[in-house]
Amino acid sequence: MSNIFQWQLHGDGKTLAPGEVVEPDERLTWVRTAGIGAQHVIAMFGATFLVPILTGFDPSTTLFFTAMSTALFLLINKNMLPSYLGSSFGFIAPIAAVASAHKGLAVASFGIMVTGILLALIGVLVHYAGAKWIDIIMPPVVNGAIVAIIGFNLAPSVWNNFKVAPDTAIVTLVAVLLVAVLFKGLLGRLNILIGVIIGCIWGYVRSLDRIFTEIYNVINNIPIIIYMTLAALVFGQSFRNMAIAMIAFGWLVMARNVRNLVLMYRDREYNLASRCLGTPVWRILLKNIFPYLISVVILRLALSIPQTIALESTLSYLGLGLDVNTPSLGILLRNARNYFLQYPYLLVFPAVIVSLITITFYLVGNAFSDAADPRNHV
């Protein structure tokens, strides 16, 4: 017992090769260990409290039995497999069926007890006979179908909670998916934790709108070329670093415009009347607000493409952008400045190309914007 919390550092504690496993007596750096532990707590919080809330059981009783079962589990296997035993989502559908038949929680509790005894007997059988027969009886296709059925049984509960705060739910879900897809290593593995944090922040955005507005005003008053220059000097010159810096600071203008439009359309008389009549928020967003945002977003995106090209060209011309061997308008301008007096037309062609790209994307974006604007289809 004295060695339970004396973990050894796994490798350098920072990097893991594909397929590499951190053993129970090992750990990563304390920051990474704390992050993974926090995510595990968040995931198990739902299993501990969500299941009793959905089934009508007392959360305190559930918490007591999960704590007792986890302690017994760790003592029996001598901490060789550290894990938290939470409530099983597989019991939700049977308990809901018992509740719909008006049999009461006593019948459901008896069914849970019988299931627990059966699982204990199966555990004894696995201890002596091995687990190969389980893989034969329940192959991955069967397990996948069971998990899918459990998910479908939770769909009504998910929908009911979604209707309470649809914007927060969408932001949280999108954040979890984007972090899992866009980031590698520890950040990608902590997608649930980061998504929940972003969702919590979003939930307070409306009350902290004034603070975020002031932060935006401070950041937006500084030209983006300064941020890009600092990023290139601090993190080095590469396409990846430049793209990350553009994404980090380029969304502010779009976010500000969309926010202002949402507030404007939200307070229109017809939307206020819809809210008074009990229309769900998600329906107001989909029917009365989002259609008017599409045209603005399309035009802004179309204009952001030549702006991004011009910004990259400026950075590359100053020697803070792409590598000299990478094809770029900025690199062409940088190479042409040494021969400007002899061949002045070398500066004309890149400028003409940037102008044509800007005009083209403006015309195309304006056409798509007009086509997407619902006011043009009345």
257's tokens? 């415009």
pLDDT at 175 over 80: yes
- pLDDT value of residue 2: 46
- pLDDT value of residue 94: 80
- Residue 215, classed as helix, strand or coil, is helix
Mean pLDDT of 138-164: 78
Which of 208-212, 229-233, 366-370 has the largest mean confidence?
229-233
The per-residue DSSP string of 2-28 comes to TTTT-PEE-TTSS---TT----TTEE-
Whole-angstrom distance, CA of residue 182 vs CA of residue 195: 13
- pLDDT value of residue 192: 75
Q: Please give the single-letter amino acid code of residue 166.
A: P
pTM: 0.45
What's the whole-number average pLDDT of the chain? 77
The model's pLDDT over 298-336, given as tens digits with 9 standing for 90+, comes to 777 777 787 788 888 888 877 777 777 777 777 777 777
**In the chain, pLDDT over 70 holds for what percent of residues?**
92
Pairing status of strand 26-27 against strand 8-9: parallel
Q: Please give the single-letter amino acid code of residue 254.
A: M
What are the residue ranges spanned by the domains of the chain?
8-165, 166-207, 209-377
The model's pLDDT over 25-71, given as tens digits with 9 standing for 90+, comes to 788 888 888 888 887 777 777 667 777 877 777 778 788 888 888 88
